[in-house]
């Protein structure tokens, strides 16, 4: 399946035209990207970070074997 993704800002202008253009192509589906856009690159809220929190405290040093 091939997805032709139309940005939400251009959906009113392009969605119907592209759907009509790819009407005979059974392996192409035209969709509208409805993800929320905005903010600065790299800017994320604390709620958006779903990674596990790092453990707190100190850890013992790791001794590496001496080389030859």
Q: Is residue 60 part of a domain?
A: no
Residue 64, domain member (yes or no): no
Residue 7 falls within a domain, yes or no? yes
The DSSP code sequence of the chain is -EEEEEEGGGHHHHHHHHHHHTTT-TTEEEEEE-S---S-TT---GGG--SPPPPPS--PPPPPPPP-
- Is residue 15 a part of any domain in this protein? yes
pTM over 0.75: no
Question: Does a structural domain hold residue 44?
Answer: no
**Residue 6 domain-assigned (yes or no):** yes
Query: What total of structural domains would you count in the chain?
Result: 1
Identify the pLDDT of residue 10: 94
pLDDT digits (tens, 9 = 90+) for 17-40: 999 999 999 999 999 998 876 666
Would residue 8 count as lying in a domain?
A: yes
Q: Which structural domain range is residue 21 located in?
A: 2-36
**Residue 26 belongs to some domain of the structure:** yes
């Amino acid at each position: 399946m091939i997805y032709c993704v139309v940005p939400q800002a251009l959906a009113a202008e392009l969605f119907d035209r592209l759907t009509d253009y790819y009407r005979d192509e059974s392996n192409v589906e035209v969709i509208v990207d409805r993800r929320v856009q905005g903010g600065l690159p790299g800017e994320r809220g604390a709620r958006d970070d779903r990674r596990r929190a790092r453990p707190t405290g100190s850890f013992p040093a790791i001794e590496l074997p001496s080389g030859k």
